[in-house]
Amino acid sequence: MYANSRIPESAQSGLHEALESRVNKHAATDFRKPYAPYNVAAFEASLAGWDRRAPLLLDAGCGVGHSTIALARAFPDHYVIGVDQSEDRLSRKKPYPDALMPTNLVFCRADLVDYWRLLADAGIRLDRHYILYPNPWPKIGHLTRRWHAHPVFPCVPRLGGRLECRSNWPIYIAEFARAVELLTGVPAPWQPLEAPSPLTPFERKYRDSGQTLYQCVVELDQLEEQSS
């Protein structure tokens, strides 16, 4: 049945007690996992159509890509990249005929653990960066599977721009915000989100199930300007 989705159940009632030590440890350690060649090839292919001048928008973990298309339509001057590790999701039929598909977007099948680092290593800056409804991994023992507690996360705020994460699990968003604060030194506000026009299928499903949605938005470039 549609619209019967549940908020993640967890034994956690607040921030994970190991969150801060994890984030601090990852911030102090180089994450040296070698790149998989298929991610390097996908990364290069995804940037082949970029003129190196258009502002970049990354839809990280774009799933079936509906948000990527909507964002490409909303920001026609941006070069928009939708990255997901699932070929199956990326190749699902889109809600637009080919003729109406925006031309300023590319889909890329890659693992974000490599893709984010490849962007950072190439010195590429994002203008807008979306992490929409990431898998919440609500079990206490799964902390490091949440993006903000993963070793790759320190390079995410380094990519700059306007970073936005959305979730139906407030603890995920509170942790995400705290991790960004720890890494950047500046408060990362988070709040409930109204979604009259859902951006993604997960957002639509959660909203139609009557759940409260949450978002954290950080303007990373402004933070850098203030601190310089």
Ligand X SMILES: C[S@@+](CC[C@H](N)C(=O)[O-])C[C@H]1O[C@@H](n2cnc3c(N)ncnc32)[C@H](O)[C@@H]1O
* Residue 127 lies near ligand X (rule: CB under 6 A): no
Q: Which stretch binds ligand X (CB under 6 A): 10-18, 26-34, 41-49, 83-91?
A: 83-91
Nearest Cα to 199, choosing from 160, 156, 175, 167?
Answer: 167
| Cβ atoms of residues 214 and 131 within 8 Å | no
| Cβ atoms of residues 81 and 71 within 8 Å | no
* Residue 91 lies near ligand X (rule: CB under 6 A): no
Q: Is 32 exposed, middle or buried (0-12, 13-18, 19+ CB in 10 A)?
A: exposed
Q: Choose, by CB under 6 A, the member of 39, 56, 57, 63 that binds ligand X.
A: 63
Query: Taking every pair of C-alpha atoms in the chain, what is the biggest distance, in angstroms?
Result: 52
Cβ-based nearer residue to ligand X, 158 or 221? 158
**Chain mean position to CA 143:** 17
What letter represents residue 91's amino acid?
A: S
Cβ-based nearer residue to ligand X, 19 or 81? 81
Site for ligand X in 136-195 (CB under 6 A): none
Q: Which residue has the tokens 């109406």?
A: 100
| Cβ atoms of residues 200 and 69 within 8 Å | no
Q: Choose, by CB under 6 A, the member of 47, 62, 108, 193 that binds ligand X.
A: 62
* Residue 214 lies near ligand X (rule: CB under 6 A): no
Q: Which stretch binds ligand X (CB under 6 A): 14-22, 31-39, 46-54, 129-137?
A: 129-137
Q: Choose, by CB under 6 A, the member of 72, 105, 132, 193 that binds ligand X.
A: 132
Kindly list the residues in this chain that would bind ligand X in the complex (CB under 6 A): 61-63, 67, 83-86, 89, 111-113, 132-135, 200-203
